Structure 1
Amino acid sequence: MVKKQKSIGTWICSHNSINLEILKNSKFDWFTIDLEHSAMTLDLCFDIISYLKSSSNKSCFVRMSDLSQSNIKRVLDFGADGIILPMVKNKNEIDNIIDAAHYPPLGSRGTGLFRAQEHGDRLEDYIKESYENTKIIIQIEHIDAIDNFHDFLQYDAINGFIIGPYDLSASLGKPGDFENKKFKNAIEKFESLCLKTKKDMGYHMAFPDSKKLKGLLKSGYNFIGYSTDILLFKTQIDVVNKDISNCV
């Protein structure tokens, strides 16, 4: 097993300045702004990136809503440190992602003069540094991705992979059944291949669970999405509801 630096982040699905202040002072190493399963717009995404990057030293990713090349280019110009791509199933999709995220000769990303490039002041340096600094994380959310995973690992421009357990289990006909044998076999294949590489091995936990977190870290996962801002809030409200019910 290749030793990798461990990091834990969370998904941001809402736009609230107080929540962002609390999150930026938390022990999370990074944040992912979720464009896929939230009401988040590109305008709000830009505002959150600007706030977090100007007030903290934590990494800021964007989970794209789809594999659209135009939106990949836009969020990188916003200043995102990286992108997380949902429901990637084959090499052709990875080729298109790399093409959109990187400048020539590796890709065909257009040259913008926006926030990431400090409106032109750091254009040359930004382009020189972009290959090393632009992180691309592929979500493994379908059995087709598991079947093609060996091929995915051959891409130097891909920095890591993160399991989306609900969609992966759904692709096996057992949504939310993480004890299903087919799901476990898929996870075992993913782990056995990824642990041999230097690439980040990730897992997105929908709900906070310290026992699950410890288990993932012990198994070699080093890039863990720990719930979402909304579900962290809901989980605490559930605790309060139980307290009230027990006291009234």
Structure 2
Amino acid sequence: MDSPTLASAFREGTPLLGAWSMTAQPVVLEVLAGEGFDFLVVDGEHSENTIADLAMGVRTIDAVDTATDSVVRVSGPDRAEIRRVLDFGPAGIVIPQIESAEAAQRAVEATAYPPDGVRGVAGGRASGYGTDLSKAVATANESVATILQIETEGALEDVETIVEIDGLDAVFVGPADLSARLGAFGDFDAEPFREAIDRIVAAARGADVPVGTLATGIDTIEARWNEWDVDFLVAGTDVGYLRRGAAAYLDRFDRSKTR
């Protein structure tokens, strides 16, 4: 029997906790995967990572002997980039900067092989470099998680349509971009932003599609999970962990100095 996939976990409504990697450094990913997160997102939008860095990130996560799944965020809804990323075999893909229902439809189609979509067929890592190509084509549409970010006015306006798209496994609220687009950057208590969160969550629940978001600090986890009522969470980034850890040591040293 095949192992459960990230996509099937989304479909079953399993509460999931992930982390975000801006660095894609193998040591960092090995450490985080070893901690037992359900998934790790390797960032290809707001980072210096090349396509080769993203591929190495996926390989690193997959090589760790835990159940942590590899996910890649691409830079946008570009069909060629989506195809290249999927060919090296992540368990899921996050697509940001969706501006409309039409753009969302095209993005989801880019992740799926025909007849459900327009993904090109090639013998990359995801198909054992061609040795399992027939199986990959037959199973990838169901086994790879497709996640769209809801972070623009257009996506918000069309969210009830977007969550009904066949082949969509989850939606992810980008709080920084969404608040900026609504004229309330970083003010997650602002009325337009909270109304947007309520609308996105209601639409996703109505379509039985999981909705998640990012908690950038430990003190925001409970509010994001309970007040925003999301189904899965990304709890911080590797760069954030590094900065907070360093700051804690510096603070403790400052408070310990007696001479």
Q: How far does residue 3 in structure 1 lie from its aligned partner after superposition?
A: 8.0
How many pairs does the alignment contain? 245
Distance 1:117 1:98 in 2: 20
**Structure 2 counterpart of 1:48:** 57
Question: Could you list the runs of 5+ residues in structure 2 that have no partner in the other structure?
Answer: 1-10
Question: Matches of residues 12-161 of structure 1 in structure 2 within 5 Å?
Answer: 12-56=21-65, 57-161=67-171
Partner amino acid, structure 2, of 1:10: A
Matched residue SS, 1:25: helix
Contact 2:71/2:94, CA 8 A, preserved across alignment? yes
Q: Which of 180, 188, 199 is the equivalent residue of 1:178?
A: 188
2:222 to 214, 219, 234: 214
Distance apart, 1:212 and its partner CA: 2.7
Gaps of 5+ in 1: none
Residue 226 (structure 1) aligns with: 235
AA matched with 1:235: R
8 Å CA contact retained: 1:11, 1:32:
yes
Q: CA deviation at 1:203?
A: 0.7
The two structures have a TM-score, normalised by structure 2, of 0.89
Deviation, 1:182, is: 0.8
TM-score (norm. length: structure 1): 0.93
Runs of 4 or more, structure 1, over 4 Å off, are none
The one-letter code sitting in structure 2 at the alignment partner of 1:217 is: W
Question: CA, structure 1 residues 3+24, in 2 after alignment: closer, same or farther (shift >3 Å)?
Answer: closer
Distance 1:232 1:167 in 2: 21
Query: Given that residues 143 and 186 in structure 1 are in contact (C-alpha distance below 8 angstroms), is that contact kept between their aligned partners in structure 2?
Result: no
Fraction of identical pairs, as percent = 25
How far apart are 1:44 and its partner, in Å? 0.9
Q: CA RMSD in A?
A: 1.7
Residue of structure 1 in register with 2:251 after alignment: 242
* Distance in 1 of aligned mates of 2:206 and 2:79: 30
Q: Distance in 2 between matches of 1:67 and 1:230?
A: 25
